[in-house]
Amino acid sequence: MPRRRNRACLPAVCLLVAGFSAPLAAAEPPAAIVYNLRAPRPESQTIEVDAAFPTDNQAEIDIMMPVWTPGYYRVEDYAGRVESLTARNPDGNPLDVAQPRPNRRRIRTAGAKTIHVAYRLSCKQRSVTTNWVDTDLCTLNGAATFFTLAGSPPRPHEIHFELPAAWKRAATSLPAAPDRLPNHFRAADYDELVDSPIVAGDPVVHEFDVAGSRHAFVDLGDLGAWNGARAARDIEQIVRATRDFWGELPFKNYLFLNVFRPGGGGLEHKNSTLLTASAARFENPGAYRGMLNFISHEYFHAFNVKRLRPVELGPFDYENPPRTDGLWISEGLTSYHAELLVARAGLATLDDYLAELSATIDQLQNSPGRLVQTLAQASLDVWNTSTSGVGLRGSKTAVSYYIKGTVAGFLLDAKIRRLTRGKNSLDDVMRLAYRRYSGARGFTAAQFRAVARDVAGLDLDPWFHKVVESTDELDYTEALDWYGLHFAVAPAPAPPATDPKAVPAE
């Protein structure tokens, strides 16, 4: 989760030396980086960027693109899609540009206080971390679009997006720029810019309000027979159930950016989520419910990982990916609660929920990698899989922290309920962890276990060791007995219509 590093101007203070007083002026806030975006020929699937970078009077500056996007744990070559980068001073004179690293450019400023960098982006990728442009719409992700000043203190980043005639408006969770002009936005810092995807085209927008928090479900692309109004009504019920779970909604505005195109996947952001799939995939009831589970997963992330996170996941180093053993909490427990909340919202029956949970258990028990890789190691080794933890069905050497993490959530929830005779649950663990560690703090593995202990009233280290740190087979007996369930041979439901963070072939 990006750490907000807001820099407030200090008030003037007085220095008192031998009866002499003089005001100490407040430091000037860093100047903004300003980007002008154009798509003069959308059919070319490119975006043109002209960015103004303050130099802070340095002889040379380095500008940088990230090598990964928070929430998607794979190294990506965004800078490899940059074409024809040039730099000039305010008079239009060219400046020397070098490339010290694949994702960096070094520019000699020749004494200019501001320099302009122009480049073109190839936008032909359909994943939830890359860029797509066609004649009807575009999807832009911050890490794949914007260079920033390497090593710079936090500073505003402003975007002016000049849309072609076929695109009616842009949508993003970014605040409006100070000039309040259409399609002008301003991020407080680079973290917020990376965390706020932008879509543009001719969107269909459905709005609703929950507890004073405005939500918008934004449909773009090939809608076909898609009923966006119905989906928005159902998603409102998920939002209400999520609000009841956490006790609050920590944002004034939230966007569901729903782009219909080939491929599929989703990625969470602090005040929005980017969803992508084909509308035709949701025409039957089971697939539609899978879509609701998918959206519930991404929305739950607005709390679990964007505001409550393993300590290693922030502040972000965009050139050196972090390693944590806690992704089973961030992803697995999110999947567990997301499906529960769809049922609590009245959008799935108990039988629906149990069938989905059974399918998840079946997938885990038919994954040979569960006996080779621990749940903690699955998180630590995610950068080696190149799939951000998804698509591991049938792997002989690895286990998905989505799948085993969901099952771990089911078992831990049952254990806490049994130990407390139904008084407490895993819900209480998440809420207490949120109160203790959300925001800038983050939690360690030991701190999360301590929260679970405090809720359960018993040291759960043996449980965590067995389920998270070993490859021992899971024991379902306690959970089944508590809920009065048993395993039976039955047809498994179809897999979800869209896996979280799934990335199509590009």
**Which residue intervals of the chain bear CATH 1.10.390.10?**
206-483
Longest dimension (CA), the chain: 88
- Each residue of 358-399: pLDDT tens digit? 999 999 999 999 999 999 999 999 998 767 788 787 789 999
Predicted confidence at residue 504, as pLDDT, reads: 42
Over residues 324-344, the pLDDT tens digits come to: 999 999 999 999 999 999 999
**Do the Cβ atoms of 487 and 111 come closer than 8 Å?**
no
Residue pair 187/214 in contact by the 8 Å Cβ criterion: no
Residue 494 reports pLDDT greater than 70: no
Q: pLDDT tens across 6-59, in order?
A: 433 333 333 333 333 445 555 678 999 999 999 999 999 999 999 999 999 999
For position 1, what pLDDT does the model report? Answer: 40
User: Between residues 240 and 492, which one has the greater pLDDT?
Assistant: 240
Looking at residues 191-195, what average pLDDT do you find? Answer: 98
Task: Tell me the H-state helices in 324-395.
Answer: 327, 333-344, 350-365, 375-380
Q: Which residue bears the tokens 């989703």? A: 266
Q: Judge: domain 206-483, CATH 1.10.1060.10.
A: no
What percent of the chain has a predicted confidence (pLDDT) above 70?
91
Q: 135 in helix, strand or coil?
A: coil
Share of the chain above pLDDT 90, in %: 85
What is the tens place of the pLDDT at every residue in 55-96? 999 999 999 999 999 999 999 999 999 999 999 999 999 999
Half-sphere exposure of 173 (CA within 13 A, CB side): 27
Say how far apart CA 496 and CA 284 lie, in whole Å: 12
**For residue 408, what pLDDT is reported?**
98
Q: Residue 392 has what pLDDT?
A: 80
φ, ψ at 2 (rounded to 5°): -65, 135
| pLDDT above 50: residue 5 | no
Q: Which of 17-31, 114-128, 287-301, 369-383 has the lowest mean pLDDT?
A: 17-31
120 has pLDDT over 60: yes
User: In whole angstroms, what is the distance from residue 498 CA to residue 266 CA?
Assistant: 8
In this prediction, residues 142-147 reach a mean pLDDT of 98
Q: Name the percent of the chain in helix, strand, coil, to the closest 5.
A: 30, 25, 45
- What pLDDT does 20 receive? 36
The whole-number pLDDT of residue 3 equals 41
Question: Where exactly does CATH 2.60.40.3650 map onto the chain?
Answer: 33-202
Name the 3-class secondary structure at 486: coil
Measured CA to CA, the distance from residue 96 to residue 16 in angstroms comes to 48
Q: What are phi and psi of 403, to 5 degrees?
A: -75, -55
Q: Residue 47: its pLDDT value, please?
A: 98
As a whole number, mean pLDDT of residues 88-116 equals 98
Over the stretch 411-438, which tens digit does the pLDDT of each residue have? 999 999 999 999 999 999 999 999 999 9
Higher pLDDT, 275 or 25: 275
The H-assigned helical ranges of 208-249 are 228-246
Q: Evaluate if residue 496 carries a pLDDT over 80.
A: no
For the domain spanning 33-202, the CATH number is: 2.60.40.3650
* 51-60, 275-284, 470-479: the lowest-pLDDT one: 275-284
Of 122, 134, 156, residue with least CA distance to 35: 156
Output the pLDDT for position 39.
Answer: 97
Q: What is the pTM of this model?
A: 0.92
Confidence check: pLDDT of 493 > 70: no
What pLDDT does 26 receive? Answer: 59
Q: What is the mean pLDDT of the chain?
A: 92
